[in-house]
Amino acid sequence: MSRLIKSFLSFLCRHRRRVLALLVFVAAFMGITLTIGKIYQHWDKDPERGAIAMPEGGLGESFDTPVYLDQNWDESDSLWFYNTTQGSALLPYDFFIQLEQKDNTTLFRDNVNIDKYRYLPQKKTFFNPDALPVGFVKETYKGNSDTSKDYLGYTCAACHTGQVNYKGKAMRIDGGPAMANMVLFLEELEEAMFETLNNQDKFNRFSTAVIDLGNDYRKPEEVKEDLEKWSNTLRLYNIVNKSHIDYGYARLDAFGRIYNRVLEYVVGADQAKEMLTALTKADKKTPLISPKEADKVLEGCDPTIIGSDCFAKVIKRLQMPKSEGYPELGIKGLLRVRDGLFNEPDAPVSYPFLWDIAHSDYVQWNGLANNAPPGPLGRNAGEVIGVFGILDWTAKESGWSLPAYISGQKNKKIKVDFTSSIDLTNLQRLESHLRTLESPEWPDHLFPNDPSMQIDKALAWKGKLLYNEYCLSCHEVIDRTAWDRLVIAKMSSLESIQTDPAMADNSVTFKGYSSNFQHTYQSTDAGTVILEQKAPVVQILTSVTKGVVSTPDPDKNVIRRTLDWLYVMAMSFFDNDIKSSVKAGDYNPDTTANPYNSLLSYKARSLNGIWATGPFLHNGSVPTLYDLLLPKKMPGDPDLCENASGETEPCQYRPNEFVVGSRELDPKKVGFVSEGKQGTTFTTRRVGDFNTGHDYGARDIKSDDGEVILKALTKEERWALVEYMKML
């Protein structure tokens, strides 16, 4: 190694003028590129930021053209965030533009239908000429010959732009949690695609309309071939991610779905055959799939890594007739296959809000992601894997490569490369853009004549004193406008916080076949681990995101992609003030025996803007802030309680059932109105949906010897604390 370094230094000395000229050229090129990018970023200045009124909304709600609160973003900042691709590719773009709904001839992208899923309809603007909803964008990917076309993809804004309505007035919240029902959207999109495929009249209209666009398709046969391919791909995704937990509106098991998508692309045919032939029918004796059937199902798939297209073929073949040599599985059989290769994503959580994310030391609900460099880049690359980035990953014999080295494959004969549609340059720019976003303040100024929206300052002052006593130790108060603010995640172990454990448990316990990453080494805070044949998926995800971020964008020329990659790497380190640090809080530390122990916890953070982020708790199981300050009714809890006047009245407990989907603000309890509204019914009876825990102020908190160290709040104190939290 020392000889290599000496040779390199000698080369630099001999060619210092050329090296200096190259560095000057690179710096000039990057400077010009950055300047052009900044100018372009501000070209879309629509004063309404593309927002439109909805006289008849999808769930019976109507609202005027939304207004924006002061979050330190102007119209161009918002529109660039909404319409900047990150490399997601859900389906061909022309298909989404012309696809009809399943049961009628109205376009699937019709605004009323889009609003039904609680995505946010938009009008045409410069960056959005086809009036796509907030968070949907055209992604142009020039990959291999099969994947080179325009796609519809998700942007960050789809899950992280909110809206709050009050008496017909709508307020858009940049960086706020979406109310979206992504599962319903994807299931009904799949149904519409298959109906179009199987209904000749629908297909004729669809194929004609797609071809008339004059973009990626010229013949009906081409349309049909791709429609069948993408319909099956979406069906595969929906089958793999089917859950017994109804996510409903406003939440998603993003981690579970990212984990599954990684496993879908990493597993090899050899490991898949091993799993398929080990499955049994309900009697636990009779094989579900014979070795011959498994070979037939996996025919043509790479033994090391199945890759982008073969898995959809596998799912289709699993359902084909036994007379043709296939297993002919129904939905129950397919779910047994799912359980053998994947993990049920049964821990939905609320979409997190994004203000202060670039100022936070640890992110994700369980603090999985360290925000120190280059953490945000890997975190965002993992997110795009989950939201349909095209993964043109292949396995082949090759020499040394940086992605193979970084992902731990340096000693492997066969190496997986990580060509994909993931746009690292835009991911870096988006993360940097979020540094300027501020939390929204309570919008009392929009309703000067409405007493319900005015903050009771005297009551809020009492609430502030209570906040200091009950909340401040975990939820630090920060200056929302400070450019140098630092948000510290205070971690609480599952034992201490006692909220629903599913998300934290799954992040650690989910396992999958590691394929080519088997027996590779990986560093953790507790030491170096070796990936086993069935490894924790968090390890496999870490390996592949390292490979992705060390792979330059493939659909740019070699000079451009090299310079862009160098820019991304430099900016991920130098445009990030967060340093590596020890987690704060009360949690179980990582050990050599349990290297992911600290992930069995949940994060508390500053509550600025909390009024616009309901429902509450990490899994969205409590509808309002006032309800969060009530206890969960447990066995033995009384039905009648004594009030401050000494009178008996019904005790107050957190609701065990409420409707989610409405955007209507409850200004008193602070959250969204659920009574009398349309949406999905949230019930709190199962793991994944529990509304237990976080009892601070809800019950007496006692020491081990039974001494009360934090008393339960009275009703008056709860109202005072809620009033103060409006001001954060």
Q: What is the pLDDT of residues 249-298, one digit of tens each?
A: 999 999 999 999 999 999 988 889 999 999 998 888 899 999 999 999 99
Total Cβ atoms within 10 A of residue 324: 9
- Give 24's pLDDT tier (boundaries 50, 70, 90): low
Are 87 and 216 members of one domain? yes
Predicted confidence at residue 309, as pLDDT, reads: 72
Alpha helices of 498-641 — where are they, by DSSP H? 502-509, 537-549, 558-574, 625-628
Q: Nearest-CA neighbor of 115 among 611, 661, 681?
A: 661
Evaluate if residue 333 carries a pLDDT over 80: yes
Evaluate if residue 474 carries a pLDDT over 50: yes
Q: Classify residue 511: in a domain, yes or no.
A: yes
User: How many residues are given for the chain?
Assistant: 728
- Give 477's pLDDT tier (boundaries 50, 70, 90): very high
- Give 344's pLDDT tier (boundaries 50, 70, 90): very high
Evaluate if residue 653 carries a pLDDT over 80: yes
Are 243 and 387 members of one domain? no
Quote the number of domains for the chain: 5
* Residue written as token pair 């401040």: 472
Evaluate if residue 171 carries a pLDDT over 60: yes
Question: What whole-number distance in Å separates Cα of residue 580 and Cα of residue 575?
Answer: 15
Determine what percent of the chain is predicted with pLDDT higher than 70: 95
Are 50 and 135 members of one domain? yes
Are 456 and 546 members of one domain? no
**Using alpha carbons only, what angle is made at residue 295 by residues 289 and 299, rounded to the nearest 5 degrees?**
135
Evaluate if residue 4 carries a pLDDT over 50: no
Are 233 and 130 members of one domain? yes
Predicted confidence at residue 15, as pLDDT, reads: 64
Total Cβ atoms within 10 A of residue 21: 11
Question: What whole-number distance in Å separates Cα of residue 560 and Cα of residue 566?
Answer: 10
Evaluate if residue 192 carries a pLDDT over 50: yes
Q: What is the pLDDT of residues 587-602, one digit of tens each?
A: 999 999 999 999 999 9
Helix (H) or strand (E) holding 382: helix 375-386
Please give the structure tokens belonging to residue 601.
């916890």
Domain termination site, one of 252, 273, 291: 252
Are 689 and 562 members of one domain? no
Are 82 and 192 members of one domain? yes
Question: What whole-number distance in Å separates Cα of residue 474 and Cα of residue 469?
Answer: 11
Any residues with CB less than 8 A from the CB of 360 and at least 6 apart, and which?
371, 486, 487, 488, 489, 578, 605
Strands 149-154 and 136-141: antiparallel
Predicted confidence at residue 311, as pLDDT, reads: 82
Q: Per-residue b/e over 120-132, b at no fewer than 16 CB within 10 Å?
A: bbbeebebbeeeb
Q: Classify residue 349: in a domain, yes or no.
A: no
Evaluate if residue 201 carries a pLDDT over 80: yes
3-state secondary structure of 417: strand
DSSP code string of 89-122: -SEEHHHHHHPBPTTSSSBTT-HHHHHHTT---B
Are 521 and 468 members of one domain? no
Q: Is the dihedral of CA 97, 98, 103, 105 positive or negative?
A: positive
Are 237 and 378 members of one domain? no
Are 175 and 299 members of one domain? no
Provide mean pLDDT across the span 217-221: 96
Any residues with CB less than 8 A from the CB of 455 and at least 6 apart, and which?
442, 444, 723, 726, 727
3-state secondary structure of 290: coil
Q: Is residue 13 packed enough to be buried (19+ CB in 10 Å), middle (13-18) or exposed (0-12)?
A: exposed
Evaluate if residue 644 carries a pLDDT over 90: no
Q: Where are the beta strands (DSSP E) in 155-199?
A: 161-166, 169-174
Please give the structure tokens belonging to residue 414.
């066969």
3-state secondary structure of 154: strand
Q: Is residue 166 packed enough to be buried (19+ CB in 10 Å), middle (13-18) or exposed (0-12)?
A: buried
Are 167 and 132 members of one domain? yes
Provide mean pLDDT across the span 106-130: 97
Question: What whole-number distance in Å separates Cα of residue 602 and Cα of residue 550?
Answer: 30
Question: What whole-number distance in Å separates Cα of residue 249 and Cα of residue 163?
Answer: 13
- Give 704's pLDDT tier (boundaries 50, 70, 90): confident
The amino acid at residue 343 is N
DSSP code string of 33-49: HHHHHHHHHT----TTT
Q: Nearest-CA neighbor of 604 among 616, 622, 591?
A: 616
Q: Classify residue 90: in a domain, yes or no.
A: yes
Domain termination site, one of 228, 252, 276: 252
Q: Per-residue b/e over 424-460, b at no fewer than 16 CB within 10 Å?
A: bbbbbbbbebbeebbbbbbbeeeeeeeeebeeeeebb
Question: What whole-number distance in Å separates Cα of residue 376 and Cα of residue 364?
Answer: 11
Q: Classify residue 132: in a domain, yes or no.
A: yes
- Give 27's pLDDT tier (boundaries 50, 70, 90): low
Q: Classify residue 347: in a domain, yes or no.
A: no
Question: What whole-number distance in Å separates Cα of residue 356 and Cα of residue 374?
Answer: 17
Determine what percent of the chain is predicted with pLDDT higher than 90: 79
Q: Classify residue 601: in a domain, yes or no.
A: yes
Contact of 698 with 584, CB cutoff 8 Å: no
Q: Classify residue 160: in a domain, yes or no.
A: yes
Q: What is the pLDDT of residues 550-573, one digit of tens each?
A: 999 888 888 888 888 988 998 888
Alpha-carbon 425 to chain mean position: 19
Q: Nearest-CA neighbor of 727 among 454, 522, 516?
A: 454
- Partners of residue 174 on adjacent β-strands: 161
Are 451 and 433 members of one domain? no
More confident residue, 230 or 398: 230
Q: Is the dihedral of CA 122, 128, 134, 136 positive or negative?
A: positive
Predicted confidence at residue 550, as pLDDT, reads: 94
In angstroms, the first-to-last Cα distance of the chain is: 55
Q: Is the dihedral of CA 455, 459, 464, 470 positive or negative?
A: negative
Question: What whole-number distance in Å separates Cα of residue 497 and Cα of residue 601?
Answer: 8
Question: What whole-number distance in Å separates Cα of residue 447 and Cα of residue 673?
Answer: 18
Predicted confidence at residue 136, as pLDDT, reads: 98
Mean of the per-residue pLDDT values for the chain? 92
Domain around 637: 447-479+614-725
Evaluate if residue 9 carries a pLDDT over 60: no
- Give 698's pLDDT tier (boundaries 50, 70, 90): very high
Question: What whole-number distance in Å separates Cα of residue 196 and Cα of residue 56?
Answer: 27
Q: Classify residue 348: in a domain, yes or no.
A: no
Contact of 615 with 623, CB cutoff 8 Å: yes
Predicted confidence at residue 257, as pLDDT, reads: 97
Provide mean pLDDT across the span 110-128: 97
- Give 8's pLDDT tier (boundaries 50, 70, 90): low
Domain termination site, one of 284, 309, 341: 341
DSSP code string of 666-723: ETTTTEE--TT--SEEEE--STTT------BTTB-EE-TTS-EEEPPPPHHHHHHHHH
Alpha helices of 607-682 — where are they, by DSSP H? 625-628
- Give 1's pLDDT tier (boundaries 50, 70, 90): very low
Asked if the bond preceding 55 is cis, omega within 30° of 0, the reply is no
pTM: 0.93
Predicted confidence at residue 107, as pLDDT, reads: 98
DSSP code string of 520-549: -EEEETTEEEE--SEEEHHHHHHHHHHHHH
Predicted confidence at residue 143, as pLDDT, reads: 74
Question: What whole-number distance in Å separates Cα of residue 505 and Cα of residue 344?
Answer: 13
